[in-house]
Chain A
Amino acid sequence: MTTTVPMILLMLGCAIVTWLPRVIPFMLVRNVELPDVVLRWLKYIPVCILSALVIESLFNADGSIVTFDWLNLAAFIPTLIVAVFTKSLSKTVVVGVVSMAILRYFF
């Protein structure tokens, strides 16, 4: 149960740079009315950012050529199927984790 002053300062630094991008938009939209085109643009953000996060995890950019991350891709397929058919967050997470655990056991 210990820490050091530099460590606390480091964590505070990380906290501030995480907090500002989260809070600034909430202050911004109170004072500035966003133009219609920006609001329309924002409607696309949920699907775009969620698909970007998923797809990025399916690529492997460690080498000189970007390839698939085969393990993640293999676990992703049953996960996606369960998500589409059950529409359930918790079932999807369970199937994803179990699929990955099984795959890591064999490969």
Chain B
Amino acid sequence: MSLNTQINAHQTTTLDTFSQGVKDCIPTLLGYISIGLAFGVIAITSNLSVFEIFLLSVLVYAGSAQFIFCGLYIAGAPFSVIILTTFIVNLRHFLMSLTVAPNLTRYSPLRNIGFGTLLTDETFGVAVTKLMKEKHIGGNWMDGLNITAYLTWIASCTIGGLLGKWIPNAESWGLDFALIAMFCALLVLNLIDIGKSKLMHYLKLIALMAIILYILLYFMPGHLAVLIATMIVATVGVVTEK
């Protein structure tokens, strides 16, 4: 009992409320809005209608896959190729869901389907950062985070589509870089709370990641290299931990 109180005293635990989830989502919204707008603009130039842009962001809800969808669609790729590529590009979510899911098993199957359906790179990033800090995430918080991100994404993509006719060259605005910047910030936030002794271990793993990715990129497309390099380096992490 006294041990428990001691542990709790060292953690800054926030409430498991929907509104706290919404609040924790706000810093990522700029990223969703930038990338969503950029996507809408690019999709319009790829001959998708505004309604199709809306539908794609509702149904697929994955930034990089939606961009690749447009690229393949305008190139006239067969449907089978588009679907298979989308599958491979989004397969990393399997690992992300597997990482988050063990922390939410106390909720009903239906709510768990909800958590999984709305999992993205960014909500995953925010959730694991919270897990790293507080060792705990709640379902209401997760719903607040997920639903805010989802609605913002749909709105941004659709508005980007509506604006698309007036902004012909979205790339020159640098909006596409928002995604990389967000991953970078989430990576740093995850490393901050790791502790000094573990940090060295992680930095070595990141260096190894660069080498393995470089080699893999000779043999496979980038999204597949990301997936395989992640599994290799995580395995090395477990084997080399003290």
**Residues of chain A whose beta carbon lies under 8 Å from any beta carbon of chain B:** 1-3, 6-15, 17-19, 21-30, 34, 37, 39-42, 44-57, 59, 61, 66, 72, 75-76, 79-80, 83-84, 87-90, 92-105
**Counting CB contacts under 8 A, is B15 at the interface?**
no
Interface size of B in residues (CB-CB distance below 8 Å) = 94
Q: Which of A21, A23, A83, A87 contacts B91 (CB 8 A)?
A: A21
Q: Indicate if the CB atoms of A21 and B238 lie closer than 8 Å.
A: no
Q: Indicate if the CB atoms of A48 and B237 lie closer than 8 Å.
A: yes
Q: Indicate if the CB atoms of A29 and B105 lie closer than 8 Å.
A: yes
Within 8 A of A (CB), among B152-177: 171-177
Which residue of chain B is the closest to A38 with respect to CB atoms? B98
Q: Indicate if the CB atoms of B117 and A79 lie closer than 8 Å.
A: no
Q: How far is the CA of A55 from the CA of B222 in the complex (A)?
A: 10
Which residue of chain B is the closest to A49 with respect to CB atoms? B230
**Within the complex, what minimum Cβ distance (angstroms) separates B1 from chain A?**
26
Q: How far is the CA of A24 from the CA of B116 in the complex (A)?
A: 8
Scan B172-214; emit 1 where CB is below 8 A from any A CB, else 0. Answer: 1111111011111111111110100000001001100110011
Q: Which of B82, B98, B109, B172 contacts A10 (CB 8 A)?
A: B82
Q: Which of A7, A44, A59 contacts B237 (CB 8 A)?
A: A44
**Within the complex, what minimum Cβ distance (angstroms) separates A51 from chain B?**
5
Which residue of chain A is the closest to B192 with respect to CB atoms? A87
Within 8 A of A (CB), among B70-114: 73, 79, 82-84, 86-87, 90-99, 101-102, 104-105, 109, 112-113
Which residue of chain A is the closest to B233 with respect to CB atoms? A48
**Counting CB contacts under 8 A, is B226 at the interface?**
yes
Q: How far is the CA of A45 from the CA of B87 in the complex (A)?
A: 19
User: Provided the pairs A18-B86, A96-B184 are in contact, do residues A53 and B112 lie with their beta carbons within 8 angstroms?
Assistant: no
Q: Indicate if the CB atoms of B116 and A50 lie closer than 8 Å.
A: no
Q: Indicate if the CB atoms of B102 and A93 lie closer than 8 Å.
A: no
> Chain B residues near A75 (CB, 8 Å)?
174, 177, 180
Q: Can you add 13 more A-B contacts, CB < 8 Å, to A11-B59, A49-B92?
A: A11-B52, A14-B59, A15-B60, A22-B93, A28-B101, A47-B194, A48-B237, A49-B226, A52-B230, A61-B218, A80-B184, A96-B174, A101-B172
Report 27 cross-chain contacts, Cβ distance below 8 Å, ordered by A residue: A3-B49, A10-B83, A14-B59, A14-B82, A21-B87, A24-B94, A26-B101, A26-B104, A30-B105, A30-B112, A41-B235, A45-B96, A46-B132, A47-B206, A48-B233, A52-B213, A54-B187, A56-B225, A56-B226, A61-B217, A75-B174, A87-B192, A88-B185, A89-B189, A90-B27, A96-B174, A97-B174
Q: How far is the CA of A85 from the CA of B134 in the complex (A)?
A: 22
Q: Indicate if the CB atoms of B102 and A42 lie closer than 8 Å.
A: yes
Q: Which of A12, A13, A15, A52 contacts B226 (CB 8 A)?
A: A52
Q: Indicate if the CB atoms of A42 and B98 lie closer than 8 Å.
A: yes
**Counting CB contacts under 8 A, is B50 at the interface?**
yes
**Within the complex, what minimum Cβ distance (angstroms) separates A95 from chain B?**
7
Which residue of chain A is the closest to B232 with respect to CB atoms? A48
User: Provided the pairs A10-B82, A90-B27 are in contact, do residues A2 and B65 lie with their beta carbons within 8 angstroms?
Assistant: no
| 7 interchain residue pairs of minimum CB distance | A96-B181, A100-B174, A101-B174, A100-B177, A89-B27, A25-B97, A92-B185
**Within the complex, what minimum Cβ distance (angstroms) separates B138 from chain A?**
15
